[in-house]
Structure 1
Amino acid sequence: MRRSPASISAERARTASRLRVLGVLRGSAAGCNVQQVAEHTGLHPNTVRFHLERLESDGLVSRHVRRSGEPGRPPLAYVANPVPDAEQGRRDFGQLAEVLAQLVTRANQDPATMAEEAGRSWGLSRTEVSAAVTNGAAAIAELTASLDELGFAPEVCADDDDGHPIILQRHCPFLEVAQTHQDVVCSVHLGLMRGTLEKLNAPVSAERLIPFASPAGCEAHLTVGGPTPPAV
């Protein structure tokens, strides 16, 4: 069952608020209590509690009792869990990516389309056809392996409401640039997946990419059984 645009919009708003809460905790080595997070984010304390419970359930934060030595019940503090660095040991091309994203944005009336085509070309050029790719499951495995090589830390999740597989992208190698040039960076990402699947001649298509779909990462929604849609 497809969700309504209003439902999707509300979920994105909740996700944005949850990321703000997580950002506050990641900026505090000692952690924060509910009231401190509320003051930093402007969110109601009850809303903060809701997001903290979800973040704790997702394994992104932990809570502990903050001992103060004063009488009374000690307050709870929340701290962000360490994030594995999927890019450790790689060169940092963040500044170059920022410059190129600005160039694409300024030089084109439709930067997302150009960025997607660039990503598609990238996927075509870096993918080698494997004889093992004979069905949808094999193609998804190849795509996941390719994304893992690039540092996206992908994970194939349960199917969505329509029965289509989802690849969760737990790490974005271009996160800082994506936060300011989401249309360009995420379009390159989508084009990369489409180009990879096209080169594999796979019966799988990358239908859409939902940036920051949850605190766990971005979601790539796939369809099995149809051709990869061409870049537009």
Structure 2
Amino acid sequence: MANGGPVCGPISSYSRVRILHLVQTRSERTIGELSEATGLHANTVREHLQRLIEGGYVIQTSERRTSRGRPRTLYSAATGAPDASSPVAREKAAAAARRGDLMRRMLQTEASDLGQRAINQLDALIEHLEESGFEPIIDERDLTVELTPCPHAAALPEHRPLLCRVHLGLMQGVLAEAGGPIAADCVRAAERPEECTVQLRIVPAA
């Protein structure tokens, strides 16, 4: 795509974006529900879900039944919460932290004021964004992620609001899975389609 290169990863297909939106807005969806809501064949939905599970963005559980019968498989977004955590996402975050720490030692980078856990969250976030076709620039002082030019700028205008919401949700999940004080707050309003800045924030300790 023009502006920023091709979109990759979980948001490379708009059908997959629609499925992600559905599981982000309500957990424990069935194949039948997702198929009916998207108009996609059940086998197509199943293939998209498998890709999303392998990427660490969706988790599957078995239905708890109180009556006889085979339990259905339920699908939810991997949000990093204790009951919605993906082992794939946790391992990706840990691997990103190891690579980031190694690079900082090699470059003898000065310690960040944000602290180790926050920096490792940013390691995971940067890798997720790069895998998705973005070229992120992190401002640790202002807690922003600059994603201009956005690879989604060439998408249909009516698709972009959903793309932004879904990808913000994915970013929130990546940061939560990595564990630390940083959360993704919002996508800032932009004057031009190719502009994209995500605002982060520090979550006060409970």
| TM-score grouping bracket, smaller chain normalisation | 0.3 to 0.5
- With normalisation by structure 2, the TM-score equals 0.47
Computing the radius of gyration from Cα coordinates, the structure with the larger value is 1
- With normalisation by structure 1, the TM-score equals 0.43
Structure showing greater relative contact order (alpha-carbon pairs closer than 8 Å, 6 or more residues apart)? 2
